[in-house]
Amino acid sequence: MRIVLVGPPGAGKGTQAAYLAKNLAIPHISTGDLFRANISQGTPLGQKAQEYMRAGQLVPDEVTIGMAKDRMAQPDAAHGFLLDGFPRNLAQAEALDGVLKGDGLKLDAVLDLEVPEDEVVKRIAGRRICRNESSHVFHAIYNPPKTEGVCDACGGELYQREDDSEETVRKRLEVYHSETEPIIDYYKAQGLVVTISALGKVAEVTQRAMAALDRD
């Protein structure tokens, strides 16, 4: 199967992508992994991406698209893949369609993980990270430490990352609504979208997703 995974920040895309890819025996291709691999390997696309990143600029769509195209052409993706974080906007979605069509392929499904906005804010803004190298992660509501502000594992100080503040999370949601959400309508027009609730335990969401993809 060739699947695109979409959903707002905090929907658990990375976690679900890993489980779904394993269950479906297809590679999980995430934007973050693409960037890290290309930069660490010093590929021409990785070098271009690094230039933009060092200058504090957004990496152009064509660079991201090029990385995704190269990754999808690798042998382990011959029978399918799960894309996580790509496409991120309409231009990338249209480019992906073009790449697949050029190879005589098409997407099988777009899995949309649905989470209420207030739940997204609660999930992300509640995260607390240990300052020590262990980097243990707790949550003020779902996995609180025994002593507030103190890591259960090593006694280190727990803190909230700047990226996890409610203000930042709401800004990230605004970007998602304006840039990424439109691809859902784009794929709905192609009859590809399968929407499921991403609320509940990880295993429950995975089971829900597998059942939805099977029906599709």
**Any idea what DSSP says for residue 147?**
B
CA-based radius of gyration for the chain: 18
Say how far residue 44 (Cα) sits from the centre of its chain: 24
Residues with catalytic function: 13, 88, 127, 161, 172
Give the chain's end-to-end CA distance (angstroms, integer).
11
**Any idea what DSSP says for residue 8?**
-
Confirm if 34 and 68 have CB atoms less than 8 A apart. Answer: yes
